[in-house]
Structure 1
Amino acid sequence: MFGTSGVRGTVGEEITAELALRVGRAVGSDAERVLVGRDVRDSGALLADAVSAGLRECGADVVRLGVVSTPVLARHVGWLDADAAVGVTASHNPAPDNGLKLWTPSGQAFDAAATDAVERRIDDGAYDLQGYRTLGTQTSHEGAADRQVAHLAERFPSFEELSVVVDLGNGTGRPTVDALVALDAEVTTLNAQADGRFPTRKSEPNADSLGGLCRTVAALDADLGVAHDGDADRMMAVTDEGTFVPGDVLLALFARRALAESGGSVAVPVDTSLLVSDVVSDAGGTVTYTRVGDVHVAEQVATAGYVFGGEPSGAWIWPTETLCPDAHFAALELAALVADSGPLSALVTDVPSYETRRENVPTDRKRAVMERVSARLTETDDDVLTLDGIRVDAEDGWFLVRASGTEPLVRVTAEARDAAAAERLHSVAKGVVDEAVELEG
């Protein structure tokens, strides 16, 4: 039921009020005080009511935060001394979708063990239902976003010389704007009207969806642009020249800045560019690879010695702040980097650029294919990671073979410091996959 980002799907199909009620009952059976928040989707009100009903049926006191960003909700679990939070959100998914994601007091999403326990309660119907005298209470908490803004304003210096364009994508990212304004930045907003239909652009902030932000930054001669998804757990950026910053490059810039302040280690998923490893190594740090998904990055950076973790999709985690990907904090951290170190375009140019090859191989037997690929590669290669797909590191690059989590595909990615090496590594990986597909018929 639960994936690396909670449970998500189409409302009325995978995601229903009945499911939300059951999740509420399961969480409430093991908690005394639970926060509930949601993003801007219209279906969120119904689902938040159902979650709250399930929590209260099992004796948990519910604190409703209303429409808030995911980082605001996750931070408030600890700030309000709650045991957990349920976020009703599908993050960057399209408007017909919604979902549920669970958070701990550290700001970290429920890990696999915790979500497995929730699933077992649901499957077994093992809820701690209460009588009418011991039902949980429900209260509302106002001003959660204001507290986040105040926290950010205390953490960063004045940005009075900085001009920033913020694309909110019709979502819950307003605290970024308010914090920048509080710090004296000149701020222009795009798509700032909260609207769960996401009418002005796709919710996911990427190179394809942020053309308007790129043009606006260039037209206004702004210092940088930042963009959020629907629940503001992602942040992507645009340079002062109006150019989209690839996620791997942004990850490298954040990692280098974090390492310069305190040294240590950085956690990234296995599909991260080699350029991040090279930048981190040059900065005196080390990289640890994790499974894909911000929950896995968060688990790693929660251990000693880690100063930063991130995913190229736009999830950034500073463990001394919170174990939730906080796009508000990330936006201000990027603004501080530009204020301290100069134009973002120059910083991006300073990061190396490598050659990448990607291809999807269709197969209805992706599990069996992956088993054959794993057996073949672990026999012939020494430097192999099998924690999420199969990643093979070579002297001049790497390749990753990984089954899609949602489609009948096996994804092949290869990267190297030059085009010839990238082609060679891709050819090797693709050949192993094609052979496995043929053998599986």
Structure 2
Amino acid sequence: MARLFGTDGVRGLANRDVTAELALDLGSAAAHELGSSPEFTGRRPRAVVGRDPRASGEFLGAAVTAGLASAGVDVVDLGVLPTPALAYLVGAMDADLGVMISASHNPMPDNGIKFFQRGGLKLDDAIEDKIAARLGEEWERPTGAAVGRVRVDTGIAQQQYVAHLTASIGTTPDHRPLEGLRIAVDAANGAASQVGPEALRLAGADVVVINASPDGRNINEKAGSTHPEQLQAVVVAAEADFGVAFDGDADRCLAVDHGGVLVDGDQILGILARSLQARGELEQDTLVVTVMSNLGLLLAMKDAGIATLQTAVGDRYVLEEMRAHGYSLGGEQSGHIILAEHATTGDGVLTALHLAAEVKRSGKRLADLAGEIPRLPQTLVNVRGVDKARAGSDEGVLAAVEDAEALLGETGRVLLRPSGTEPVVRVMVEAATQTQADGVAETLAAVVRDRLAL
């Protein structure tokens, strides 16, 4: 039986896969699992709940809140704010649990529910499975004064988060470290539509903003980190120093240089790693990345004397590796960047601030900094309508992968993996030329489509 929780919580089509009933049950199940700890003897657990601006988040957030409160948990409704803001506020508000209603970069009809434990860390797989196992179990409902109370935050928590972000690059009333920079921001009509531009302005930047008018329906719609084309044009037209693009819940950040060229998460990681290393702040001179990171990044880090450790795809796995060994920086090509000194998860606005601070500190253009982290030609094909569960076991697929690897030799690599958040098998190929990468990827994708067809 498939796990209810994927690599980033429970996610699917809102009101079909992710329903109000499921959200209600998950809220009460999480409360029961949380309340089973002896530390809550004599006191009620406290939870914070946030959401991105998609319309379905309104009823799903209300349902999760109802589930928690009905099981005796006090809840603070934080309203619309980024996922990393909720993760930070779990710790800053001394909450026992955080729940974020978001499908991140997915299209508007999707939504998801993800949990954060005390301290703002994502739940371990084992705890998620325990919550899932409690769905539908019989329980004694509290009554009277024993039910949880719900309080709506008036924006104070959001201000607290913005202050935390700007302080991380040394912003004070007398010091605005980004002064003199013009930065274009694509907020994806998402959760950072307010806090992203606000944080950059408080740090001194002149900010040009697009796609910061969420209406519940337009989140991620031809905007943000998954569709940077508009930002690329705006950066050039506005003569900005560079631009940054967030996704719907702002746990990702990609950038665009002054010429409109995309700077991906691998290059941002490389820039920040070299910056931290130069200042003696890159713990153990090590960068944690995933198997999806471009071979060009790995080679650039080797030349800089920086070790790279690779994990499975998902910022939770990057974070687990970082926490296990005390590393300070890690992330994904998609723009999930974890700066462990300041965050417990990928934070797009935090990343934008630190990238901007390095541009200002170095005196170089972003294009020059990114040029020091070359990218091998890479092709990614998402194969839909297939049985992704058989991607790692089908003999025909495995044989095709082996043939592709033999063809590429040491000049490239192949990665084939099922998505953890979508019904998709991802085929990624890196090669010496774009033509070769495209050809090998399309050949492999055709085999996957044929062998794994539903």
What is the TM-score normalised by the length of structure 1? 0.86
User: Displacement of 1:407 after TM fit?
Assistant: 6.9
Classify 1:412/1:334 alpha carbon distance in 2 versus 1 (closer, same or farther; 3 Å): same
1:5 to 1, 4, 8: 8
Q: Partner of 2:52 in structure 1?
A: 39
| 1:415–1:425 contact (8 Å) kept in structure 2 | no
| 1:391–1:400 contact (8 Å) kept in structure 2 | no
Classify 1:284/1:61 alpha carbon distance in 2 versus 1 (closer, same or farther; 3 Å): same
Q: CA offsets, 1:223-246, max 9 Å, x none?
A: 111121222111111111222223
User: Displacement of 1:398 after TM fit?
Assistant: 2.1
2:137 to 121, 125, 130: 125
Q: Partner of 1:223 in structure 2?
A: 241
Equivalent residue letter for 1:8:
R
User: Displacement of 1:4 after TM fit?
Assistant: 1.0
Q: Does 1:282 align with 2:311?
A: no
Q: Partner of 1:328 in structure 2?
A: 349
Percent of matched pairs sharing the same residue: 37
Q: CA offsets, 1:15-57, max 9 Å, x none?
A: 2111110111011111411111111122222221211111112
Q: Partner of 1:50 in structure 2?
A: 63
Q: CA offsets, 1:54-77, max 9 Å, x none?
A: 111211111111221111111010
| 1:391–1:399 contact (8 Å) kept in structure 2 | no
Aligned residues: 427
Q: Partner of 1:247 in structure 2?
A: 265
Q: Does 1:138 align with 2:150?
A: yes
Equivalent residue letter for 1:69:
P
User: Displacement of 1:283 after TM fit?
Assistant: 2.4
1:99 to 105, 109, 112: 112
Q: Does 1:343 align with 2:355?
A: no
User: Displacement of 1:408 after TM fit?
Assistant: 6.9
Whole-Å separation in 2 of the counterparts to 1:392 and 1:4: 32
Q: Where do 5+ consecutive residues of structure 1 fail to align?
A: 382-389
Paired residue secondary structure (2:207): strand
Whole-Å separation in 1 of the counterparts to 2:103 and 2:434: 37
Classify 1:391/1:403 alpha carbon distance in 2 versus 1 (closer, same or farther; 3 Å): farther
| 1:82–1:105 contact (8 Å) kept in structure 2 | yes
User: Displacement of 1:300 after TM fit?
Assistant: 1.4
RMSD: 3.3
Within 5 Å, give how 1:20-419 maps onto structure 2. 20-29=23-32, 30-31=34-35, 32-122=45-135, 124-125=136-137, 127=139, 129-142=141-154, 143-157=156-170, 158-173=177-192, 174-198=194-218, 201-202=221-222, 204-206=224-226, 209-261=227-279, 262-263=281-282, 264=284, 265-341=286-362, 342-359=364-381, 364=386, 366-368=388-390, 370-373=392-395, 395-405=410-420, 410-417=425-432
Classify 1:160/1:113 alpha carbon distance in 2 versus 1 (closer, same or farther; 3 Å): same
Classify 1:418/1:192 alpha carbon distance in 2 versus 1 (closer, same or farther; 3 Å): closer
Q: CA offsets, 1:261-299, max 9 Å, x none?
A: 323322222121111211222222221211111211121
User: Displacement of 1:251 after TM fit?
Assistant: 2.9
Equivalent residue letter for 1:258:
L
User: Displacement of 1:331 after TM fit?
Assistant: 0.8
Whole-Å separation in 1 of the counterparts to 2:408 and 2:317: 21
User: Displacement of 1:169 after TM fit?
Assistant: 1.8
Q: Where do 5+ consecutive residues of structure 2 fail to align?
A: 36-44, 171-176
Classify 1:69/1:365 alpha carbon distance in 2 versus 1 (closer, same or farther; 3 Å): closer
What is the TM-score normalised by the length of structure 2? 0.84
User: Displacement of 1:218 after TM fit?
Assistant: 0.9
Whole-Å separation in 2 of the counterparts to 1:39 and 1:51: 14
Q: CA offsets, 1:320-357, max 9 Å, x none?
A: 21221111111101111111121111112222231234
